[in-house]
């Protein structure tokens, strides 16, 4: 078992996720999670906005199996939409369908998400449907397809490690899309395993959507990919308002500020809330150097 598999395993451990909720932000998670409540999160978003950076806000939580938990999550996201509006901050929402009941019942989840999308639409706020593991890919696209009949303030994520992402990027070219490498453990039958193959597909998908798509969010901390995109948009005269770079809150802050300063649209993914454990473990899986965050925190006590 690799270190990556180990942390991905932890990220899905129900018991640890449940325990972590009770104890507040620990183990260094506070440097990559913007607080446990809306007030703290809005302060972080205001600070980003002051640097010319917008935010996509994630009310942390996923793989919910209890109906009341899904309803609570929906209500919290509705409150976040209200807070974005009241505080007039430059921000939108990222949500996960499993937090809103996808594993409980499709129609229940659909209705929860519809309520969120409808309220956001009234305030002209965009909603991104984050993509999770493969078992939730098709139903998340289905939610998007059905809601897109009535709303256009929605978009989703394309994960470059999946072989089928090439088809999906063509199929969803009229949507605002975030393109990422992919954060979950997926089998060889479905997904590229090697870094070089994933990076190559990532670049192909980004280039396709920049040329043919509605709006592209390039979500990566990889400076090599970012440099490639900078060159590509220059050579192909892609207007600045057709794309943005995205990174996660607390990662490569200097590079985030620099890109915004250079005049690129930049959006930071801002997670908050007490359901932080799974998110934090996936960040450790991606980059074991992030363990530094944890070690420093443990020894600074």
DSSP 161: T
User: Would you count residue 93 as binding ligand FDA (CB under 6 A)?
Assistant: no
Q: Which stretch binds ligand FDA (CB under 6 A): 79-87, 143-151, 162-170, 216-224?
A: 216-224
Report how far residue 126's alpha carbon sits from residue 115's, in angstroms, rounded to the nearest whole number. Answer: 13
E strands, the chain, are 54-59, 91-95, 127-129, 154-159, 176-180, 215-219, 243-248, 266-272
Q: Scanning residues 250 to 289, which ones bind ligand FDA (CB under 6 A)?
A: 251-252, 269, 286-287
Closest approach of ligand FDA to the CB of residue 223, in Å: 6
Task: State the sign of the Cα–Cα–Cα–Cα dihedral 32, 60, 56, 196.
Answer: positive
In the complex, least distance from residue 285 CB atom to ligand FDA, rounded to whole angstroms: 8
Residues 132-191 that bind ligand FDA (CB under 6 A): 157, 159, 180-184
Quick one: DSSP state of residue 35? -
Annotated catalytic residue 66: no
Give per-residue burial for 49-64: e unless 16+ CB within 10 Å, then b. beeebbbbbbbbbbbb
* Residue 127 in tokens: 């909603």
Supply the minimum distance, in Å, between the C-beta of residue 112 and ligand FDA. 18
Q: Shortest approach of ligand FDA to residue 250 CB, angstroms? A: 9
Binding mask 112-141 for ligand FDA (x = CB under 6 A): ------------------xx----------
Nearer to ligand FDA, 20 or 267 (CB): 267
Distance (Å, whole) CA 240 – CA 19: 44
What is the CB-side half-sphere exposure of residue 24 using CA atoms within 13 A?
3
Task: Tell me if residue 58 is catalytic.
Answer: no
Is the dihedral angle over the CA atoms 209, 184, 35, 301 positive or is it negative?
negative
From the list 66-74, 104-112, 137-145, 217-225, the region that binds ligand FDA by CB under 6 A is: 217-225
Are 67 and 56 contacting, i.e. CB atoms less than 8 angstroms apart? no
Binding mask 233-252 toward ligand FDA (x if CB under 6 A, else -) reads -------------xxx--xx
Does 91 bind ligand FDA (CB under 6 A)? Our answer is no
Q: Which residues bind ligand FDA (CB under 6 A)?
A: 130-131, 157, 159, 180-184, 219-222, 246-248, 251-252, 269, 286-287
Residues taking part in catalysis:
130, 178
């Amino acid at each position: 078992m690799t270190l990556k598999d180990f942390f991905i395993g932890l990220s899905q451990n129900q018991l640890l996720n449940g325990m972590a909720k009770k104890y507040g932000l620990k183990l260094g998670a506070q440097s990559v999670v913007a607080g446990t409540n809306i007030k703290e999160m809005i302060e972080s978003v205001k600070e980003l906005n002051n640097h010319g950076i917008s935010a996509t806000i994630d009310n942390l939580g996923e793989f919910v199996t209890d109906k009341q938990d899904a309803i609570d999550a929906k209500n919290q996201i509705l409150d976040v939409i209200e807070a974005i509006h009241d505080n007039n901050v430059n921000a939108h929402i990222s949500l996960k369908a499993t937090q809103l009941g996808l594993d409980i019942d499709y129609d229940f989840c659909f209705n929860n998400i519809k309520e969120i999308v409808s309220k956001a639409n009234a305030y002209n706020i965009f909603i991104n449907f984050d993509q999770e593991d493969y078992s939730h890919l098709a139903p998340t696209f289905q939610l998007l397809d059905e809601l897109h009949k009535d709303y256009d303030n929605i978009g989703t994520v394309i994960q470059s490690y999946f072989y089928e992402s090439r088809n999906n990027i063509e199929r969803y070219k009229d949507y605002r899309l975030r393109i990422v490498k992919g954060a979950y453990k997926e089998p060889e039958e479905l997904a590229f395993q090697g870094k070089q193959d994933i990076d190559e597909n990532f670049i192909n998908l980004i280039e396709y959507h920049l040329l043919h798509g509605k709006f592209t969010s390039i979500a990566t901390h990889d400076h090599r990919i970012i440099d490639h995109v900078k060159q590509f948009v220059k050579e192909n005269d892609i207007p600045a308002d057709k794309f943005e770079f995205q990174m996660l809150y607390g990662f490569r802050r200097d590079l985030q500020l620099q890109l915004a300063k250079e005049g690129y649209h930049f959006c930071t993914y801002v997670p908050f809330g007490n359901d932080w454990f799974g998110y934090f473990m996936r960040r450790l899986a991606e980059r074991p150097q992030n363990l530094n965050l944890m070690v420093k925190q443990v020894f600074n006590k």
